[in-house]
Homo-oligomer: A and B are copies of this chain.
Amino acid sequence: MLTFQKYFPLEDTPENKSIMQSAMAVVKEEMQSNQIGYYKLPSNSLSLIERLKEIDSDLFTQIIIIGIGGSSLGIKAIDSILRPYTPNAKEILYFENSDPVTISETLIKIKKEKAAFFIISKSGSTIETTSILKTVIATCKLDLDGADRKRVFAITDKDSALSKFAQHHNLGEFNIPDNVGGRFSVLSAVGVVPLQMAGYDVKNILKGAQEFITRFFEEGETHLLEKACYMYINSKKQGINVLFSYADHLEGLTKWYVQLWGESLGKIDFNGNRVGLTPIGLIGSVDQHSFLELIIEGPHDKSVTFISIKDAGNDLKIPDISLYGIEKTNFINNQSFNTLINAQCDATMQSVIESDVAVDAISFDKVTPENIGAIIIYYELLTSLMGAMLMINTYDQPGVELGKQILYKNLEKH
């Protein structure tokens, strides 16, 4: 279960009600018209799990992900947070970046005979992904028309370049629905197929997502609309949202959120104005020692969302030892680290609230697949609501095209 608390003021005015009603109407229309597809992934993706039963996944003990951005961040987020709670999860290697140092480091970890390779690209021709694919084929001597055909899978749009490649070699292929953008795709084949094959309980991730989205459309999660409304009406003076997660293994989720938020909401709106909120992901308590000072004493241009895990399922305790000279820390002896990190989250949150910064809090009762599904759909819905309020196209990314054109031009000249 997720619990949501808000510590910011939202006035109960007709204007705010109207903002929320309009955004809700936009989101409902996106969903009902099938213009935007992610809303239906929690139910539609169940069929992928069925389809995977036809593949003998015991053949594979290592999962290789070749994908970047929306084709890796969501998988990494879920893998990272669920791994400590999934002792039999298979190893996953990620090839994301065009950095030769990390590509070389990852290549030597591949155990070809045990590996399932997932090439993931919505467009099918992402330059990092196709370049790494070629490198992996050459390094591992993959025989795509023979013995290795069964271990290579493409996850891509129907009729994409990568789809043509997969069909040519008769590889396993899974498609991303046309109406699902890369950064909203984690609950499509992009995340479902490799995570299920790695041994994660994807069915319950989808269940948690479905339950949340059902409650939302039945207007049982009104806090989401209120948060979007608060953030929208304050977006000029509080242009930064900090996601402060109190668990190391939530770092992947914060990176996924940064992409979702940044790429969806940083836009020129329908009136030609530049809008957007800047997302920042932090990890507590570590970043109390690096960023908290700025939040409290610096310009009040930020809202802060705290995420904590009430019961991390680990009872490691601070031993009852008194160390000479350091006796003043004895008050914490015999407490669990779980208690300490939650107390740190609470204390930091309280100090930020007392400094008049807008705060809200999301608490996991524990780490479960259902809760992970819920938090994912929560952030996707929040993003769609914000986009509707900001009057932008939440789902495109026109700003990144110029760089791609320059890259192609420069490299072709090379």
* Interface, chain A (partner B; CB < 8 A): 68-70, 73, 84, 96-105, 124-125, 127-128, 130-131, 133-135, 137-138, 161-165, 167-169, 182-183, 239-240, 246-249, 255, 258-259, 262-263, 265-268, 274-276, 278, 280, 283-286, 288-302, 312, 314-316, 318-319, 321, 323-326, 328-329, 331-333, 335-341, 343-344, 346-348, 350-352, 354-355, 397-400, 402-404, 406-408, 410-412, 414
Contact = CB atoms under 8 A, between A and B. Distances in A.
Nearest to A296: B399
Given A164-B324, A325-B162, A326-B130, A99 B297 contact: no
A318 B135 contact: yes
Nearest to A352: B403
Given A274-B297, A285-B97, A414-B339, A329 B130 contact: yes
B68 A289 contact: yes
Taking chain A's interface residues, is the majority helix, strand, or loop, or is none over half, making it mixed? Answer: helix
A338 B115 CA distance: 27
A351 B135 contact: no
Given A127-B332, A266-B295, A280-B280, A341 B289 contact: no
Contacts of A316: 100, 103-104, 135
A143 to B, nearest CB: 13
Contact of A298 (B275, B294, B325, B414): B275
B301 A278 contact: yes
A69 B319 CA distance: 23
A127 to B, nearest CB: 6
24 contacts: A69-B286, A84-B101, A84-B105, A97-B283, A97-B341, A101-B312, A125-B326, A131-B332, A133-B323, A134-B321, A168-B325, A266-B298, A274-B297, A278-B294, A292-B400, A293-B398, A293-B400, A295-B399, A296-B402, A297-B399, A331-B408, A347-B410, A351-B402, A355-B402
